[in-house]
Chains A and B, each alone.
Chain A
Amino acid sequence: MSERSERTDRLSVSDPSPLWEVFVRARRGLSHTHVGSLHAPDAELALRNARDLYTRRQEGVSIWVVPAGAITASSPDEKDAFFDPAADKVYRHPTFYEVPDGVAHL
């Protein structure tokens, strides 16, 4: 019997089953898409729970799990400043530039 390890980072007494956000890329998908959240004691079990809950164990899917606490979200209150382009700064718009002839696929 080995020494009991300190797993404070993996299994906290205050929250034994924290929230995780789940991103899945389908077999033919191009990118990971947020599909939902779940509770799990650690990343390994979060992955397995995600497989049961969100992928039904299909072959060839990729799953990412992230502790919900690790995600920083934009604030809804700052939406205007955050997402609205400054319309008066024309030099920041791609339409400001003349595209030279002969440049394809820009």
Chain B
Amino acid sequence: MSTLFDFTLALGDDALIAAQRLGEWTSRAPEMEEDIALANIALDQLGAARLLLTYAGELEGAGRDEDALAFLRDDREFRNCLLVELPNGDFAVTMAKLFFLSACQLPLYTALAGCADERLAAIGAKARKESAYHLDHASLWVKRLGDGTEESHRRMQAAVDEVWPYLHELFAADPAAPVDPATLRAGFDAAVSAVLDEATLARPADGWMPGGGRDGVHTEHLSYLLAEMQVLHRAHPGARW
């Protein structure tokens, strides 16, 4: 990443794709209460995405609004991290993804709330509260499933192992950014390790470190997600309802 536009767009894309994935759970969650909680979190992420993409469009100065950025770019133009585009998997995988994403978003938004850029500071101040709730919710489930039955423990450990390699991309150094993600890694590790310990889960070793999302090089999953997300907008350009 290099410019303020790139940075803002990447954060907006993270939130947008996370919202789209969480939305897939609607009416399919294990119980009604969790269905509503996941929809709530999806809408929080979508709200942050709208603010960030609107601001990114203004920074770009090419006349693209939030809708143009969300619905009229293809996968090579998206700057989200690979973590958020991974399939939902089972409930444990979804919770592992949400846990790691919010454990990264919370310190990032918190730091942004005090940054020099007024718009990003305002967005960070608003999104920070929601991120704290997302982290809390996902942490509770990681602990419950990890320290639950034999089967839930097995699935939660498998989910953590599966998602772990995709974390490193979230903390790639970006010294020019309003907040350098690399500076947040130590705090993230401490917060995540505390929850994993309580959940009786092993912290995976660092090995394979996939990346590329910030450069528009994605997994095979994103273009399918975008096809579904964008089909209506592309079929009826400029439609209003």
Contacts and interface: CB of A to CB of B under 8 A. Distances in A.
Contacts of B32: 38-39
Contacts of A62: none
A44 B37 CA distance: 14
Interface stretch (B116-124, B145-153, B213-221): B145-153
Contacts of B202: 1
A4 B37 contact: no
A44 B200 CA distance: 19
Interface string B10-50: 00000000000000000000011110110010000000000
A35 to B, nearest CB: 14
A4 B33 contact: no
B33 A40 contact: yes
A7 B143 CA distance: 11
A67 to B, nearest CB: 15
Nearest to B32: A39
Nearest to A17: B31
Q: How extensive is the interface on chain A, given as a class?
A: 20 to 34
Contact of A39 (B33, B37, B40): B33
Interface string A23-41: 0000000000000001111
B33 A53 contact: yes
B107 to A, nearest CB: 21
A49 B136 CA distance: 12
Contacts of B37: 48-49, 52
Interface string A59-99: 00000000000000000000000000000000000000000
Nearest to A44: B140
Given A45-B144, A48-B140, A3 B200 contact: yes
A38 B36 CA distance: 12
B137 interface: yes
B159 to A, nearest CB: 16
A52 to B, nearest CB: 5
Given A2-B200, A44-B140, 10 more contacts: A1-B202, A7-B147, A17-B31, A39-B31, A39-B32, A40-B33, A45-B140, A48-B136, A49-B34, A52-B37
